[in-house]
Amino acid sequence: MTSNLAVDVRGLRKSYGDLTVLDGVDLAVEAGTVTALLGPNGAGKTTAVGVLSTLLKADAGTVRVAGHDVVAQPEAVRASIGVTGQMSAVDDLLTGVENLRLMASLHHLGRHDGRERADALLAQFGLTDAARKPVSTWSGGMRRKLDLAMTLVGAPAVVFLDEPTTGLDPRSRRTLWDEVRALVAAGTTILLTTQYLEEADQLADRVAVLDGGRIVAEGTPAELKSTHDAGSLDDVFLRLTEPTPEPSADPTTKEVAR
Amino acid sequence: MTTVTIATTTAGARPLADTLTMLRRNLLRAVRYPGLTSFTIAIPVILLLLFVFVFGGAFGAGVMPGVAPGADGRAAYLDYITPAILLFAVVGAAQSVAITAAMDATSGIMARFKTMAISSGSVLGGPVLGTVVQGLVAVAVVLGLAVALGYRPHAGGLGWLALAGLLALVTFALSWLCVAMGLSAPSVETASNTPMILTALPFLGSGFVPVETMPAGVRWFAEYQPLTPIIETTRALLAGTPLNTSTTLQALAWSVLIAALGYAWSRALYRRERR
Ligand SMILES: Nc1ncnc2c1ncn2[C@@H]1O[C@H](COP(=O)(O)OP(=O)(O)OP(=O)(O)O)[C@@H](O)[C@H]1O
Ligand SMILES: [Mg+2]
């Protein structure tokens, strides 16, 4: 069947009360490729990543990750994935190296291998100098890099990155891009969300645009640009996604200004 | 003890190793952030000093017929309340794990753990076991202070072992309950609200004054609430007197029941979608 699909989503629906966030999402990511999931704020990208990573329960549809169904075999899915959420997920009271060694222990790497893996990742992300200071004293970008490094400790087969480069300086962003390319070269599958469309253009084999609860366009960056007769993915994005309604003028603003 | 923690074995996860990893993380955090631990030890210490030096002179004469108020009363009251203060230390330690659990749940790190192949029993069991360690340390500090003030326990070697086991079991049980309370709190600030109820329990029992002196309704509660058989068993173990079988069994049964309920509730909350 579709055994080379690392992510296979069909008819995914998810609502919060009356708010339907995902309204029949279909998405397929081939193993060893990068897919970028784009969409305006509030489109449901984080919600989709939540369902794929077993954090949230779908209302309908089937979701398979690394060949396992997220409902029937959540443990098998968890054993195959690495997730960097939009929200920081580091232990503030521990140091950088302690955070990474914690991940290594939870992946049962063993003392020696765990230490080597932690040191290698610290070096890779340029965090070696700060490694022995508590993470609470780190800058936002440094914490983001640690977050990503922690996700990679277990060498997961499928990686979900929710806006991984938000808050990173241009150099760090490029370092991360190189990192992603290296992971993919080694056979890892990556699904990432981003608001930097240049990032999608640079990195992604395929791009999917989520809007109004559905995937409204899907293809390679070149395909999307040519079908929509656009010079950049920015233009594609603007043409495809409905404009967010202007926030209605706040009556209190005038009061305050007066 | 760990049999409860590792009740479910999951593919990929190694429950015992993962629980120990989480225990290590919890103790490391306690060292890095000693405020919470010191607070939980300071409260029973202050309470002991307050009850002995402020109330003891008068209360001692009340709980021990024939004892004169003043120094003799203080000594008698120290003798009477030390078991209850130890329980207070245990309850205080358990309450702190509600804050620990809420901190993890709201910070994003628990979301990371949830996406990894680790069982809920390990993620939550680490802090619970860490709390047992902290609870026993608090008990040792309070007991040391009581002895310095003139308290004389008469427990034998086996009695001490049984006492440590009982207090560890009670901390373990209350900690699971408090983990659930912490997970059900919407924020870290409110995490200690529900467990606050537990603070009243050592008072509403035979720990500070004999239940015979209470009005009917309160007395009924005091006689049947879980901490009463636990305090009475602690008292007997410290005094080196023979244990009352029924009271001891009640103490153990309550502990096991609270542990089981707290564990089941915690696990259910762990996999719940957070708003
Ligand atoms: N726990 C929740 N309860 C209620 N509504 C929620 C919850 N989480 C998300 N939502 C709503 O679901 C919608 C999708 O949110 P989501 O975070 O998935 O969007 P997103 O595409 O990731 O946005 P962004 O680009 O801003 O990160 C939003 O309207 C949001 O308000
Ligand atoms: Mg998002």
**Residue B3 in this model has a pLDDT that exceeds 60:** no
- Global pTM value: 0.90
* CB A156 near ligand 1, within 6 Å: no
A93/B118 CB distance under 8 A: no
Q: Strands of chain A (E only): list them.
A: 5-16, 19-30, 34-38, 60-65, 68-69, 81-84, 158-162, 189-193, 206-211, 214-219
* B273 chain-A contacts, CB cut-off 8 A: 55-57
Find the mean pLDDT for residues A142-164: 96
Interface contact A72, partner B, CB < 8 A: no
* B108 chain-A contacts, CB cut-off 8 A: 85, 87-90
Interface contact B29, partner A, CB < 8 A: yes
How many A/B residue pairs have CB atoms within 8 Å? 69
Q: Closest residue (by CA) to atom 4 of ligand 1?
A: A16
> What CATH number is associated with residue A89?
3.40.50.300
pLDDT value of residue B61: 83
Q: What is the CA radius of gyration of chain A?
A: 19
A106 closest CB neighbour out of B21, B29, B108? B21
* CB A44 near ligand 1, within 6 Å: yes
If pLDDT is split at 50, 70 and 90, which confidence band does B12 have? low
Q: Please compute, for residue A73, the number of CA atoms within 13 A of its CA located in the half-sphere on the CB side.
A: 14
Atom number, ligand 1, closest to the C-alpha of residue A210: 21
State the ipTM, two decimals. Answer: 0.90
Number of the ligand closest to the Cα of A16: 1
d(CA B235, CA B156): 13
Interface contact B111, partner A, CB < 8 A: yes
Structural domain that includes position A232: 5-257
Interface contact B257, partner A, CB < 8 A: no
pLDDT value of residue A107: 96
Interface contact B71, partner A, CB < 8 A: no
pLDDT value of residue A228: 83
Summarised one tens digit per residue, pLDDT across range B176-190 is 999 999 999 999 989
d(CA B136, CA A117): 36
B11/A88 CB distance under 8 A: no
Residue A22 pairs in a beta bridge with A14
Find the mean pLDDT for residues A51-76: 96
B21/A90 CB distance under 8 A: no
pLDDT value of residue B179: 97
d(CA A131, CA A88): 17
Summarised one tens digit per residue, pLDDT across range B214-231 is 999 999 999 999 999 999
* A91 chain-B contacts, CB cut-off 8 A: 25, 29, 107, 109
- Cα-Cα-Cα-Cα torsion B76, B82, B84, B85, nearest 10 degrees, comes to 130
Number of the ligand closest to the Cα of A195: 1
Q: Closest residue (by CA) to atom 2 of ligand 1?
A: B275
- Shortest alpha-carbon distance between residue A83 and chain B (Å): 7
Total domains in chain A come to: 1
**Alpha carbon separation from A94 to A138, A162, A204, B17, B122 (Å, rounded):** 11, 23, 34, 20, 19
Q: What percent of chain B has pLDDT over 90?
A: 73
d(CA B248, CA B163): 12
To the nearest whole number, what is the mean pLDDT of chain B? 91
Residue from A16, A22, A195 whose mutation best tests the ligand 1 pocket (most atoms within 8 A of CB): A16
- Shortest alpha-carbon distance between residue B121 and chain A (Å): 14
Instruction: Tally the residues of chain A.
Output: 258
- The answer to whether the CB of A2 falls within 8 A of the CB of A8 is yes
In degrees, rounded to 5, the angle at the alpha carbon of residue A179 between the alpha carbons of residues A176 and A182 is 155
d(CA B134, CA B139): 9
* CB A39 near ligand 1, within 6 Å: yes
What do you get for the CA distance between the two ends of chain B, in Å? 32
**Residue B158 in this model has a pLDDT that exceeds 90:** yes
- The answer to whether the CB of A145 falls within 8 A of the CB of A126 is yes
A93/B33 CB distance under 8 A: yes
Angle between helix axes B216-224 and B227-239 (nearest 10 degrees) is 70
Find the mean pLDDT for residues A105-122: 96
Atom number, ligand 1, closest to the C-alpha of residue A40: 25
What residues 102-131 of chain A have any CB closer than 8 A to a CB of chain B? 102, 105-106, 108
pLDDT value of residue B236: 96
Query: Cβ contacts of residue B260 below 8 Å, gap of 6+?
Result: B4
Amino acid letter, residue B155: A
Summarised one tens digit per residue, pLDDT across range B66-98 is 888 888 889 999 999 999 999 999 999 999 999
Q: H or E stretch including A26?
A: strand A19-30
Between B68 and B253, name the one with better pLDDT: B253
Summarised one tens digit per residue, pLDDT across range B124-139 is 999 999 999 999 999 9
* CB A46 near ligand 1, within 6 Å: yes
**Residue A154 in this model has a pLDDT that exceeds 50:** yes
Chain A residue with Cα closest to B114: A55
Interface contact A17, partner B, CB < 8 A: no
What do you get for the CA distance between the two ends of chain A, in Å? 67
- The answer to whether the CB of B63 falls within 8 A of the CB of B77 is yes
B117 closest CB neighbour out of A78, A93, A105? A78
pLDDT value of residue A210: 95
Summarised one tens digit per residue, pLDDT across range A71-88 is 999 999 999 999 999 999
Chain B residue with Cα closest to A98: B25
Amino acid letter, residue B236: A
**Residue A256 in this model has a pLDDT that exceeds 50:** no
Best of A106, A132, A144 to substitute, by most chain B Cβ atoms within 10 angstroms, is A106
